[in-house]
């Protein structure tokens, strides 16, 4: 999990220059169960931090994925359209959702680091 930052809603972001790759955490995918469908956003769309970025449907429920940071969507993981289970198999790797060109790359520092996120997860235990 190193190199990632987290939100209280269980999204993660990995920064590479001005572009952040975004997905959901292992905890989130475990809570959802088997993921059967993912609705991804449109390329070129600008989203604000905290705004709905994608929708996940699992055998248990439908859930929103919120943008951990503000920016323009510059890439989506098209493999998730035909293989949504990639999120269950590898949520912080091949199961990423989208890439954002950040409006303010310094906002990345406001997200939780791994230790803070682990402490946050203890609230659910």
pLDDT in tens, 53-81: 999 999 998 999 999 999 999 999 999 99
**Gap between the Cα atoms of 98 and 115, Å rounded:** 24
Report whether 5 contacts 22 (CB < 8 A): no
Q: Which domain holds residue 34?
A: 5-103
Question: 106-115 pLDDT, tens per residue?
Answer: 999 999 999 9
Tell whether 84 is covered by a domain: yes
DSSP 112: B
Tell whether 75 is covered by a domain: yes
Would strands 11-16 and 71-76 be described as parallel, antiparallel, or unpaired? unpaired
Tell whether 120 is covered by a domain: no
For the cut 50, the answer to whether the pLDDT of residue 1 exceeds it is no
The CATH number of residue 25's host domain is 2.40.50.100
| Local confidence band at 124 (pLDDT 50, 70, 90 cut-offs) | confident
| Local confidence band at 102 (pLDDT 50, 70, 90 cut-offs) | very high
Q: In 3D, which of 35, 10, 26, 15 has the Cα closest to residue 108?
A: 15
Question: 28-47 pLDDT, tens per residue?
Answer: 999 999 999 999 999 999 99
Tell whether 113 is covered by a domain: no
How many domains would you assign to the chain? 1
Q: How much is the pLDDT for 2?
A: 56
**Long-range Cβ contact pairs of 117-123 (< 8 A, separation 24 or more):** 117/6, 117/25, 120/6, 120/8, 121/27
């Amino acid at each position: 999990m190193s190199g990632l930052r987290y939100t209280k809603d269980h999204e993660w972001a990995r920064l590479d220059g001005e572009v952040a790759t975004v997905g959901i955490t292992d905890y989130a995918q475990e809570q959802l169960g088997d993921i059967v469908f993912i609705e991804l956003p449109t390329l070129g769309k600008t989203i604000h931090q905290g705004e709905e970025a994608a929708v996940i449907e699992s055998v248990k429920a439908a859930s929103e994925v919120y943008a951990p940071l503000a920016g323009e969507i510059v890439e989506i993981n098209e493999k998730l359209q035909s293989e949504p289970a990639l999120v269950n198999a590898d949520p912080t790797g091949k199961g990423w959702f989208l890439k954002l060109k950040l409006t303010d790359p310094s906002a990345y520092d406001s997200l939780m680091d791994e230790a803070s996120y682990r402490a946050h997860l203890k609230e659910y235990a």
